[in-house]
Homo-oligomer: A and B are copies of this chain.
Amino acid sequence: MSYPDMMKQMAERQKKIIENMNKIKYKISVFSGKGGVGKSVVTANLAAAIAGLDQGGVGILDSDFTGPSIPRMMGLDRSQLEVVGGRLIPPQGAAGVKVVSMAFLLPEEKTPVIWRGPIKKIALEQLLSSSDWQGTDYLIFDLPPGTGDEALNIMQVLPGFDGFIVVTVPTEISRASVSKSIGFARKMHAKVLGVIENMSGHVCPHCGNDNEIFVGNGGELLATEMKVPLLGKIPLDHRLSETSDQGVPMVLKYPDAPASKSLVDIAERIVESLK
C-alpha cells in the first residue's frame, strides 16, 4: 500500500470510529493505576447495576488485551459473537449488558497475547469502529491497569469521552499508583468522575466482626487529594469472586448483600453525575 493510501485508510477508520461512538450517549472508563484492585469485577457489577436502573441500554468494551475477563463474568463466551455484514454484533450477557471483548478475538483461552503497541492500537480501532452498539446508552470501557499503551490508545481515538471512574484499594502503596493514573488522566484532559474504594474491610461470616485486611484509608485520601468525590466503598465478600466465576454479577444474585447495595449506590451516583 502506498503512503497516501495508508493515510486515507487511517482517516476513514477514524471517521468510522467517530460516527460509531457518537451514537452512544455516555462513555466512561473504569480505570486503576494498579492491577488486581477488582477493576473488572467492579465494572461487571456496575454495568449490571446501571442496567437495573432502567435509564438505558448498557454495554462494556473490554479492552484489556492481556487478561480479558469481562465475558466470563457476564456469562458469555466467544461462540456468542456474531459478525454480520462486517459488523461485530456484541452478545448480551447478564442483565442484558452487551459485551465486546478482546477475549472474543483471541484464538483460545490459554493463548498469551504477545502483541506490541501498534498492533494493539489497530485491534482497538477495529473494535471501536466495527462493533454494533445499537440501543446502548452507557458504554463502559474496562481498561487495563496503569498508564501504558492501551490507556493511551483509548484516549487518542475516542471522541466524546465522559470521564474515568478510578478504582483503588485501601492500602497506601496502591494509592500512590492510582494517584499517578489520575495525573495521567488529567494530562490527557479527561475528567475523573470519582473514586471507588474496593476491598474495603471484610465482615467475618462466623462472628460478624469487621476486619481490615488491606489496611488504610486510600480511597478517601485519594478523593480528597484529587478533589473528586468518593463514590463509595465496597467491602470484601467471597461472593464477589464466586459470582464472577459463575458469570452472574453479585448485584443480581445477592442484591441484599452490603457489597451489592454499595455497588448500586455507586451506579446511581455515576448516572446522576453524567446527566
The chain A residues found within 8 Å of chain B, CB to CB, are 33-38, 40, 65-67, 69, 72-73, 109-114, 116-117, 144-149, 152, 169-173, 176-177, 179-181, 183-184, 187, 202, 204-207, 209, 211-216, 236-238, 241-242, 244-245
Q: How many copies does the complex hold?
A: 2
Question: Given A110-B183, A206-B209, A213-B236: A241 and B66 within 8 A (CB)?
Answer: no
Chain B residues lying within 8 Å of A34, measured Cβ to Cβ, are 35-36, 67
Residue among A73, A110, A146 with max Cβ neighbours from chain B (10 Å): A146
A69 lies within 8 A of B242 (CB): no
Interchain CA distance A66-B31 in the complex, whole Å: 13
Interchain CA distance A73-B174 in the complex, whole Å: 12
Chain B residues lying within 8 Å of A172, measured Cβ to Cβ, are 245
Chain B residues lying within 8 Å of A73, measured Cβ to Cβ, are 173
Interchain CA distance A169-B241 in the complex, whole Å: 11
Contact of A213 among B65, B170, B202 (CB under 8 A): B202
- Min CB distance A203 to B, Å, is 10
Chain B residues lying within 8 Å of A65, measured Cβ to Cβ, are 148
Residue among A148, A169, A204, A211 with max Cβ neighbours from chain B (10 Å): A148
